[in-house]
């Protein structure tokens, strides 16, 4: 079962953390192709998903709040002068 695979758990955790950081900084949509590239998917494959988006809304926050302790992420924010792409 993939949920028991350590790699699956790690990739899922990284994706949720990236999504949480985007949400905290005002981004409400996650580009699927870009996320795929971040986790190492080949560009040729990720290109097929560049038009796909995942909406980050309050439901997203509720689902991951305990898992990522998003309240702490929200309090910390970005350092002054940081750029989010």
Q: What is the pTM of this model?
A: 0.68
The answer to whether 68 and 24 are in contact (CB under 8 A) is no
Q: What is the pLDDT of residue 46?
A: 96
Residue 33's pLDDT band (cuts 50, 70, 90): very high
Q: Where are the domains of the chain?
A: 2-75
For residue range 43-73, what is the model confidence (pLDDT) as tens digits? 999 999 999 999 999 888 888 876 766 556 5
CB 68 within 8 A of CB 17: yes
For residue 76, give Cα distances in angstroms to 25, 45, 69, 70: 11, 35, 12, 10
What is the distance between the alpha carbons of residues 73 and 67, in angstroms, rounded to a whole number? 12
């Amino acid at each position: 079962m993939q949920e028991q695979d350590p790699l699956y758990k790690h990739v899922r955790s990284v994706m949720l953390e990236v999504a949480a950081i985007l949400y905290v900084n005002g981004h409400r949509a996650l580009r699927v192709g870009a996320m795929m590239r971040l986790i190492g998917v080949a560009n040729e494959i990720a290109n097929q998903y560049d038009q796909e988006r995942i909406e980050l809304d309050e439901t997203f926050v509720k689902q991951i709040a305990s898992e990522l302790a998003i309240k702490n992420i929200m309090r910390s924010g970005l350092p002054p002068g940081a750029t989010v792409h």
